[in-house]
Structure 1
Amino acid sequence: MEMPQKAPIGRPRGFDAEEALERAMRVFWEQGYEGASLTDLTSAMGITRTSMYAAFGNKEELFRKALRKYAEGPAAYVARALEEPTAHEVAAAFLAGSVRTTTRPDCPAGCLAVQGSLAAGAPARPARDTLAAWRDESCSRLRDRFQRAVDDGDLPPGTDTGLLARYVMTVSNGIAVQAAGGALRDDLQQVADMALRTWPPA
């Protein structure tokens, strides 16, 4: 006689976790870490606080997961830019990606990695630390790519690759702040183009 199958332990979530995370990402993107209340998040995600904690952990953990989703989605231009054949093209693609992502009509203006860190209260410290580490990693990846360009003869010997990477990151972050303030895509692309006019010759 065939034994009946046991019911799975625990109840199914009853919601699309990826869709809920996408919605949480947009709330953090628009309101920053501290500005996004649990009510804002759960309302946008369409779930209860209990379901949020069970699926994603606390607010800090949810933010980290939302940031990873942002890095793999809207901010995926960073990884693509690093694959460009020359250092100048890397910087151009990086800044153009920043302009496009921060001015998308179907998304919040600005950059989650910048918006999320513009809070000053002590409760936001973990988020600020997470974002600082994320930005530092992006800067390090740019620096390593520019060092490879020096080794390949694409950038002049003696180029301060760390400073060059920070320069590109600073322009990118400035673009995000301007976009959040309502600056237009074409105007911000002109800023990116101007920044690249001082690029070191090979």
Structure 2
Amino acid sequence: MPSNSKIKFDRSQALKAAMMVFWKKGYGGASLSDLTEAMGINKPSMYATFGNKEVLFVKATEHYVESVDLVHRQQLFAVESDLSTRLKAYLSSVISGQCCENTPKGCYISLCVSEAEGECIPQTAVAKIKEVSQFAYQALVDVFTHDEEAKQRNLHVDAQLHARFLITFLSGTAAMARAGAGQEALLPLVTQAMKGIGL
């Protein structure tokens, strides 16, 4: 029997399922039984494919960045729209995702960053979550620094400050979404956040 016949599952779907578990329970709260049950595989298959829980977390985090986080960030670079429209679309997209009924509430990255300060996450996993936690911040810094409209509005002068403010705002909405606040409560806050950077 061919050796690869032992692995009869969709790797992408398995990673998505693992991502959902980590998103809901965090690294420490996600047991191997939780993960393998959600992924629809047994532990030997999980170990054969991903190595261990730590590697699975890293791969699930990368899957989150590619399938969820990147979709939000793409709103920032829609060249056919003005700066205000792009920023509002980005913030609204993130908040809608935080409140989505089809995924755990809040933000995967925010949850895992908070957990990374404890001692229950291995160093490789901590390094990965800290790495990806900078992606949205850096994307905003790039927009405020290089976008011509941003320069005209002098937003490039305090690009890092503006980016940090918006990331802090989104961390707050993530916490509120996890506590039960819905889109109807959180999306109107986008207007206030925009005013906070002068838009």
The TM tier, using the shorter chain, reads: 0.7 to 0.9
The equivalent residue for 2:162 is 164
Contact 2:143 2:150 in 1 (8 A): no
Written as runs of structure 1 = structure 2, the 5 A alignment for 1:88-103 is 88-103=84-99
Structure 1 segments (4+ residues) deviating >4 Å: 7-10
| Structure 2 counterpart of 1:15 | 9
Identity of aligned residues (%): 31
Alignment match of 1:62 (pick from 56, 62, 77): 56
Query: Which consecutive residues of structure 1, in runs of 5 or more, have no partner in the other structure?
Result: 1-6
- Contact kept, 8 Å, 1:32 with 1:117, in 2: the verdict is no
Higher Cα Rg, which structure: 1
More helix by share: 2
Summarize the Cα distance change of 1:11–1:158 in structure 2 as closer, same or farther, 3 Å threshold: closer
Indicate which of 62, 73, 79 corresponds to 2:67: 73
Q: Which amino acid aligns with 1:107?
A: T
Cα deviation code 1:36-69 (max 9, x no counterpart): 1111111111111111111122212111211122
Summarize the Cα distance change of 1:14–1:77 in structure 2 as closer, same or farther, 3 Å threshold.
closer
> 2: distance between equivalents of 1:16 and 1:64?
18
1:106 aligned residue: 102
Write the letter of the residue equivalent to 1:29: W
The alignment status of 1:173 with 2:171, answered yes or no, reads: yes
CA RMSD of aligned residues (A): 2.1
For 1:178-193, list aligned pairs within 5 A: 178-193=176-191
Q: Report the AA paired with residue 9 of structure 2.
A: F
- Unmatched tracts of structure 2, length 5 or more: none
